Amino acid sequence: MERSSGILLHITSLPGNYGIGTMGKEAYHYVDFLVESGQKLWQILPLGHTGYGDSPFQCFSAFAGNPLLINLEKLVEKKLLKKDELPGNLSFDPEYVDFGTVVDYKYPLLGKAYQRFKKSASRVGQMQFEKFCIKNKLWLEDYAFFMALKNHHEGKPWSEWDQEIKLRKEDAMNRYRDHLGDQINFFRFLQYVFYHQWLELKSYANINDIKIIGDMPIYVAFDSADAWANPEVFQFDENMNPRAVAGVPPDYFSETGQLWGNPLYDWNYLKETGFQWWIDRIKANLLLYDFLRIDHFRGLAAYWEVPFGEKTAIKGKWVDAPGEELLEAINESLGILPIIAEDLGVITPDVVELREKFELPGMKILQFAFDTAEENDFIPHNYDKNSVVYTGTHDNDTTLGRFLESTEEEKQLMRDYFNIDENDPVWSFIRLAWASVSNMAITPLQDILRLDSSARMNFPGKPSGYWKWRYRSEMLTAEHALDLLKITQTFGRR
């Protein structure tokens, strides 16, 4: 990790004409802004195919990309769509994603693109598609079959499907494969397009000396191809119902904890198989990203186990996890990896010991530094170089929103510590992050734009209503790039 800095912005938050950020020209313009402002890092949220609630941390697959991020204009360039087929009579809010509307107009167009590909793809195009399917067969077949089945069952979670296909009985599997063959191939095609567009964009970023920090949730969603196709990996009973689910105890964000509902791993099975499922997942993620942030890293030391059926996370308990053995197996198989540990929340000595043993950088959040008069790990003079400092993350309020809610005591701490400019408090926080000893410094784009709480990306523990924020292209100016370039040069991060 060289001394560097960058901006946190998810793909969905990019501007554009059709209701959601995509991997089109606006993404390339954003890379150009990063270059102009002297940045080296672009951090994004998980790229997965989102399900209920639209959270990128609850996806239908730990491997598949989100088809909603596919850029339609690029399909026009490939002659898979016609320009006059793009939506011209829909009115989209330029600052918020309406996921339902996007799904309703986009999937029929993706279906048209698929039909044209089947009829008119060149021999080379067909061979590239076939090669992609073979190369990614490990996860692609389960995902495509799962999504076709889900459509067939009108979107119901797999736990509510007919018993024979829920339990993957061989006769039912063969029958449904035959019946849904074209739908299965449609979802293969969507992943082929997604990967092509994403890797093209990533290549453009890398050529311009911008590295991508990706985000990998520690758990997978219960309603996912991973859980349905690999039940042995999880703590399921004989009917494939969870015995317990994941969450976190009461904390800063919630008095009742957070009940995530994700299935927990059967670590004994994973150990017996050399952690191969995890190794495959990490390997696939490192095709997509240059650095990989493991969300909820503390769950590799010990995880909060909540009995299935509980309404809150209060009655959970801590259970030890074999994180050391897992990371050793990953390193042995794939080498020393560019992993960032999200070590926030209830952090105990075993979590710190695990992170330090593998020399993984942890995270420092400046918004947490001034919550109390007591010295804490988030105050900059306690940082070490092997860390990533953030003004805030996607789970926090914007820095302006947080400052406006600060008590007078908290504001006095800021005045005493770094002489905060109360006319532009956000820039003072960004400058403090850039000045710190942390090797990496990241700020959300909302903070660059000095936006208030209305631009908040997520609120942990709230199942819906978030992940919607977007910026308009005119909001990001040459002045922003110049100001950022100056402090990046001043503090040696360019």
The residues annotated as belonging to the active site are 295, 342, 395
In contact, 417 and 409? CB cutoff 8 Å:
no
Token representation of residue 369: 């530094």
Closest CA to 21 of 150, 198, 177: 198
SS3 content of the chain, % helix, strand, coil (to 5): 45, 15, 40
Q: How far apart are CA 415 and CA 419, in angstroms?
A: 4
Q: How far apart are CA 244 and CA 263, in angstroms?
A: 7
Amino acid at 285: N
Q: How far apart are CA 201 and CA 77, in angstroms?
A: 16
Q: What are phi and psi of 350, to 5 degrees?
A: -65, -30
| Sign of the dihedral defined by the CA atoms of residues 216, 222, 227, 231, in that order | positive
In contact, 344 and 382? CB cutoff 8 Å:
no
In contact, 196 and 230? CB cutoff 8 Å:
no
In 371-475, where does DSSP find H-type helix? 399-404, 408-418, 425-435, 445-448
End-to-end CA distance of the chain: 13
CB atoms within 10 A of CB 219: 25
Q: How far apart are CA 425 and CA 420, in angstroms?
A: 6
Closest CA to 494 of 484, 342, 371, 26: 484
In order, the DSSP letters of 397-427 are: PPHHHHHHT--HHHHHHHHHHH---TTSHHH
Beta bridge partners of 339: 292
In order, the DSSP letters of 168-193 are: T-HHHHHHHHHHTHHHHHHHHHHHHH
Q: How far apart are CA 7 and CA 441, in angstroms?
A: 8
Q: How far apart are CA 348 and CA 371, in angstroms?
A: 20
Token representation of residue 444: 């959300």
In order, the DSSP letters of 203-218 are: HHHHHTT-EEEEEE-S
Q: How far apart are CA 158 and CA 261, in angstroms?
A: 15
